[in-house]
Chains A and B, each alone.
Chain A
Amino acid sequence: MARMKFLCDADRCIECNACVTACKNENDVPWGINRRRVVTINDGKPGERSVSMACMHCTDAPCAAVCPVDCFYTTDDAVVLHSKELCIGCGYCFYACPFGAPQYPKTANFGSRGKMDKCTYCAGGPEADNTKAEYVAYGANRLAEGKLPLCAEMCSTKSLLAGDGEIIAQIYKERVAKRGYGSGAWGWKTAYKEDIAT
């Protein structure tokens, strides 16, 4: 099986937010929940760079390690998913996640934050593939259709890449070789315990 990863080429990202709205569109993510977002550093200054962020579907995912109800599971494609049936909205995963991926529908000071929601790599959840039940709780399951996450597919400058880690690493390496610069595969060391040598 493939080992699915995300790679954002920060030298190409123009902060157009297509990845954000593509995600909303495909998964009907409600107002206030952001499975994906674009973060910009040095905004308005020389050296301004943006990077599109979501759940990176980590190797040995820290969210899974801290979950008290063990609602996380990793698919054969190495996509980290969770069960909203099991989730108790405790918020531990939010603190464990190095990328700020987990989102909660409620913001009460006490009690449950509601069922956690995050990027599914457009791979749905534990329910049967591409059923209404799966869509309502988790959104689309493009992987089951043989497609990739829509955020990456629609990225305006092909900055955000999704797919098998080795293939997208190769695409990135070739790009860097051709153009002569590259700031590296952002977040890979944290998420996948590896880097791309360029």
Chain B
Amino acid sequence: MLTKRLDKTTRRSRPAPMTVSGAAPLDRRAFLRNAGITATGLAAVGTLGAATVQPAQAVTPMDFAKPFDIKKNICTHCSVGCTVTAEVQNGVWVGQEPSYDSPINRGTHCAKGAAIREIVFGDRRLKYPLKLVDGQYQRVSWKQALDEISTKMLEIREKSGPESVWWLGSAKFTNEGAYLYRKMAAFWGTNSVDHQARICHSTTVAGVANTWGYGAQTNSYNDIRNAKTMIIMGGNPAEAHPVSLQHVLTGKETNRANLIVIDPRMTRTAAHATEYVRIRSGTDIPVIYGLLWHIFENGWEDKNFIAQRVNGMDEIRAEAKKWDPKTVEDVTGVPGAQLKRVAELFAKEKPSTLIWCMGATQHTVGTANVRAYCILLLATGNVGAPGTGANIFRGHTNVQGATDLGLDVITLPLYYGLDDNAWKHWARVWEVDFEWLDSRFDKKDGPNNTKINFRTLPGIPSTRWFDAVTVPKDQIDQRDNLKAAIIFGHGGNTVPRMPEMVKGLAALELLVVADPHPTNFVSLAGRKNGTYLLPISTSLECEGSRTASNRSIQWGEKIVEPIFESANDYWAIYELAKRLGYADKMFKNIKLVKGKFGDEPEAESVLREINRGGFSTGYSGQSPERIKTHMKNQDHFDIVTLKAKADAPAEIAGEHYGLPWPCWGTPAHKHPGSPLLYNTNLHVKDGGGTFRARFGTERVIKTKQKDAAGVETEVETKQNMLAEGSYSLGSEIKDGYPEFTYAVLQKLGWDKDLTEAELATITKIGGNTPGTVSWAIDLSGGIQRVAIAHGCAPYGNSKARANAWNLPDPVPVHREPIYSPRIDLVAKYPTRPDFRSFRVLNAGFSVQKAAVDKGVAKSFPIILTSGRLVEYEGGGEETRSNKWLAELQQDMFVEIHPADAASRGIVEGGWVWVDGPENNSKVKVKALVTERVGRGVAWMPFHFGGHYQGEDQRKNYPAGTDPIVLGESVNIVTTYGFDPVTAMHEGKVTLCQIRAA
């Protein structure tokens, strides 16, 4: 919140920079006297004396008499993929220019992007490795830190097994960093490797992939310009993805489009909407069924689309029938007439798109929410064409890429899964022995003389890791509890139940935080030993590729050398792998180049390895050369279609910006990338596609039937899952078809089109059964090439699934939040029964029942939800350390409705306690009294940290690395609850009480 300055003073002096000694503290007045000159405090860093410490990049103006370089990288603060243009002089980033050539941001930025230069000379960065000794941080060398860390890891491996080391990666990794980190965990012998996607869009990926094949945004930010109706539901892109609003508002203006915002909070996005629909948090599914009720009732559904491309819509129809306007209004609070108006616009004023963010995903019903959204799109025929689609806005630079590259506890890179076929595929790509990889993993005896192989089991996700540290050993489904956490680029305040996380942190034997900033993890724990902080550069100081939300891959150049003693991820991963004893195998085919501290893996070479194995998702065609060519020719791409314009140079002719995946075949096949998924209006060779045949060619439905005598028998019926009469432009098969294998090619007689070399590769992979070699594991790319030459999508042409029979709720059903304010509805719409998942117990049902029994809703009568502020990102340590951003948001706050504030004697700007219903948790924050939230609803931003239940923990940070702004974390008071499919936390609905402090 931006508080008015009543006392006419600048509110807070900035904390002193990180120094060893001898630095005169810089007071505000001194700072202001030097207004516009160099930040003098930074110069003190030069007194450190170590040869490797570069002088701080004090603010230096450009010397116009001397030459300078232009470097391009990608903003790290959301997934839009804004190009950052840097002017570099003498190794210092001296100026930031608008990137007009980028078809994505066209020169523009939000507050974070426009301030991003600060993080590459910011004085709050970690400057050298630190080790915690009896509660004091000591400066150590990289060598000492890595030696000690690896020794401890190997000791834990010896004692407790590889599963006791937990790896947390980052959505700020480049693609190459993410891939290496996943590979690192695989070679170590665990699948417990996760990153921020768990807590932002894991449920999107699960929901969307289970509907039509791939877990990603179907269209693009730019394509929203084509929409005539847009629903933004559970998202506030005006703050979270401001540059996307350029496309949204242009669409709204040029098409006079409907912009409908559905949210519990009247957001800054809603301020620009043509219609705002306020809902009760956690009732997305009833709202969608409420819309579908009107659509089906009035026959507004797209019958032709459903018949050709969707399976199971009748089951949705049956569920929607239960949600008449009166029931919907009772559960959600939305009047029937308003939903009817929205339903009619969405179904009739097409093309329509549905945009969502974490308001949809961070729920115990996150996957089901996403499924419901997809079903609304399918019912109205709004998938696979310009202006339509599931426009999922992701949260970090490379959260899409890091998800794709397998920083996920359920899969190897590029969604191959964890079964033997997946491991064998990657063993072939890596050219390592499958048996050796297998030997790295724990095994244990299962029931009935079976062996349980941890290589094939999902690991422990970021929402459950601290439970895996603290539960009794017999309550975790692995040999021992977690003992070590290796955390690269991830905040420590991002998951609910922080009081319980603090216990987990304290109990770890080893905590490694590798990050540009110390993060909340170190301020919270009160640890005394066994903690290392490794200074990692930002990805702006790092070469490599990033995948934006729209699946376009962009190459970022290293703007400057990593500052201070910080190193890039590649070097740190390589050095750690060396000490853990498998660098030779892991980097067998990866070129090493001379880096800041010695040999480091070359980004281009890593991407080439990804290309060699990335056939399943079409990460195979985007060679570093092709992507760099796109970056060089950014100005030649159309702003709406992202296609190279007619006058573009020949080397990019016909291609789409950033070769959005799937970019089929090998780089030599020159596939142009797929700007829209499942778009049958284009030939596959031009980026078209169909729904993916991922779930077989037939759906088998078993029903119990009673005959005349009352005897019950099981009857099997089968439904065709392949598309009917729908196919992409130019397809030689004018109907649905299964995914391609060598056998399928043989059946069609197309195997003759394979070259000798391609056939040799297929035969080598397939051994005795070459027919089973599929488009996804054929390392020659031949099967893909031939299928596409005949106009077919390598993955088949299927129907999308309105019923996803492998999910816990195949047809989405409403379930009340764990902490529901409507206890009268809990019995009718309970959460799922307790069950074990991801090696621990998901006790959601017990917690929900206890909350009802204890009458929590009475003592905690206010719904608490959370979200983003434009100035900060994620856990916020990086952005709260940026002086240009920190100045704009200096206090953690809670939004409270005027009526709720008045009845509690709370005044605007006053301090309040927000009490949570678990762990006697509480946070002390400022009150922002506003009608932005409805009565009985409170909202807090999730970027703050460094205060804990009323205590200022600034002293816990290593000197000089504390962020400028600290505050209470919302997740101190958020509560239990996990999605049954992905273990996504419940970040958007809990209950609280608020009182004046």
Interface residues of A (CB under 8 A from B): 11-12, 14-22, 24-33, 43-46, 48-49, 105-107, 114, 117, 130, 132, 135-140, 150, 153-158, 175, 178-180
Given contacts A28-B59, A32-B32, A48-B266, 10 further A-B contacts (CB under 8 A): A14-B269, A18-B109, A25-B96, A31-B32, A33-B32, A107-B9, A117-B35, A139-B36, A157-B245, A175-B253
26 A-B contact pairs sorted by A residue (CB < 8 Å): A16-B242, A16-B245, A17-B870, A20-B111, A21-B115, A22-B114, A25-B114, A27-B36, A29-B36, A30-B31, A30-B35, A31-B883, A43-B932, A46-B266, A49-B271, A105-B33, A107-B9, A117-B35, A138-B36, A139-B36, A150-B96, A150-B98, A156-B110, A156-B245, A178-B254, A179-B252
Contacts of B14 in A (CB 8 A): 31
- Contact: B36 with A18, CB < 8 Å? no
Kindly name the residue among B117, B276, B887, B930 whose own CB sees the greatest number of chain A CB atoms within 10 A: B887
* Chain B residues, CB < 8 A from A26: 95-96
Q: Tell me which of A14, A139, A150, A155 has the highest count of chain B C-beta atoms within 10 A of its own C-beta.
A: A14
B871 touches A17 (CB 8 A): yes
Complex interface residues of chain B between 1 and 39 (CB less than 8 A to chain A): 8-10, 14, 28-29, 31-37
Q: Which residues of chain B have C-beta atoms less than 8 A from A154's C-beta?
A: 98, 107-109, 113-114
Residue of B nearest to A145 (CB): B64
Q: How far is the CB of A196 from chain B (nearest CB, A)?
A: 17
Minimum CB distance partner of A33 in chain B: B35
> Number of B residues whose C-beta is below 8 Å from A?
62
Chain B residues whose C-beta falls within 8 Å of the C-beta of A27 in the assembled complex: 36
Which chain B residue lies CB-closest to A150? B98
Cross-chain contact A31 with B98 (CB below 8 angstroms): no
Inside 8 A of A106's CB, which chain B residues have their CB? 29, 32
Scan B843-877; emit 1 where CB is below 8 A from any A CB, else 0. Answer: 00000000000000000000000000011000000
Instruction: Check A28 against B242 for contact (C-beta < 8 Å).
Output: no
- List chain A residues, Cβ under 8 A from B249: 12, 157
Question: Does chain A have a CB within 8 A of B341?
Answer: no
Q: How far is the CB of A107 from chain B (nearest CB, A)?
A: 5
* Partner pick for B108 among A20, A132, A157, A175, CB 8 A cutoff: A157
Q: Is B108 a contact partner of A156 (Cβ separation < 8 A)?
A: yes
User: Complex Cα distance A157/B268, Å?
Assistant: 13
CB distance from B978 to the nearest CB of A (A): 32
Q: Contacts of A16 on B, CB cut-off 8 Å? A: 110-111, 238-239, 242, 245, 870
Q: Given the complex, which residues of B lie within 8 Å of A43, measured CB to CB?
A: 930, 932
Give the distance in Å from the alpha carbon of A49 to the alpha carbon of B238 in the complex: 13
CA distance A175 to B238 in the complex (A): 20
| B61 in the interface (beta carbon within 8 A) | yes
- On whether the beta carbons of B32 and A114 are closer than 8 Å, the reply is yes
Q: Does B884 contact A (CB under 8 A)?
A: yes
In the bound assembly, the distance between CA atoms of A17 and B884 in angstroms comes to 10
Across the interface, A136 reaches (CB within 8 A) one of B36, B253, B256, namely: B36
Q: Which of A12, A24, A48, A180 contacts B256 (CB 8 A)?
A: A180
For chain B, residues 265 to 288, give those with C-beta under 8 angstroms from any C-beta of chain A: 266, 268-269, 271-272, 276
Does chain A have a CB within 8 A of B118?
A: yes
Contact of A15 among B61, B95, B268 (CB under 8 A): B268
Q: How far is the CA of A139 from the CA of B35 in the complex (A)?
A: 10
Q: Which of B927-979 contact A (CB under 8 A)?
A: 930-933
* CB < 8 Å neighbour of B242 from A135, A138, A156: A156
Cβ A18 vs Cβ B96 within 8 A? no
- Whether the Cβ atoms of B96 and A107 lie closer than 8 Å is no
Asked if B888 lies at the interface with its beta carbon under 8 angstroms from chain A, I say yes
Contact of A157 among B32, B34, B242, B271 (CB under 8 A): B242
Q: Across the interface, which residues of A come within 8 angstroms of B269, CB to CB?
A: 14
Residues of A within 8 Å of B931, CB to CB, are 44-45
Among B114, B118, B871, B888, the one with the most A-chain Cβ atoms within 10 Å of its Cβ is B114
Verify if B246 is at the interface (C-beta below 8 Å from A): yes
